[in-house]
């Protein structure tokens, strides 16, 4: 039986929107920093451990919550 090696692409998801990997050599933290320049809501966001969806490794960039009012 032959082994199959899959090359998974990285996708970064925020608010239901998938963002392509700007540079596969960047760490996930560097990618978050890159996207926070375009999307200020991502300042202080967290990176959730990736899940596999088809041929993609999907990282969720979850916006920081600063508490509830009330």
pLDDT for 25 beyond 70: yes
Give the per-residue pLDDT at 69. 56
The answer as to whether 2 is a domain residue is no
Confidence tier at 63 by pLDDT (50, 70, 90): confident
pLDDT for 10 beyond 90: yes
The answer as to whether 69 is a domain residue is no
Between residues 50 and 67, the one the model is more confident about = 50
The answer as to whether 68 is a domain residue is no
Strand ranges (DSSP E) for the chain? Answer: 9-14, 17-20, 46-53, 56-62
The answer as to whether 45 is a domain residue is yes
> How many domains does the chain fold into?
1
Q: What is the mean pLDDT of residues 31-53?
A: 94
The answer as to whether 52 is a domain residue is yes
Q: Which residue, among 50, 48, 49, 44, has the nearest Cα to 63 in the 3D structure? A: 44
């Amino acid at each position: 039986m032959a082994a199959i090696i899959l090359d998974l692409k990285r996708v970064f998801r925020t608010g239901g929107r998938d963002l392509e990997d700007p540079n596969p050599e960047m760490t996930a933290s560097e990618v978050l920093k890159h996207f926070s320049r375009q999307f200020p809501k991502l300042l202080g966001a967290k990176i959730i451990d990736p899940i596999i969806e088809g041929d993609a490794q999907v990282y969720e960039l979850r916006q920081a919550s600063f508490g509830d009012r009330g």
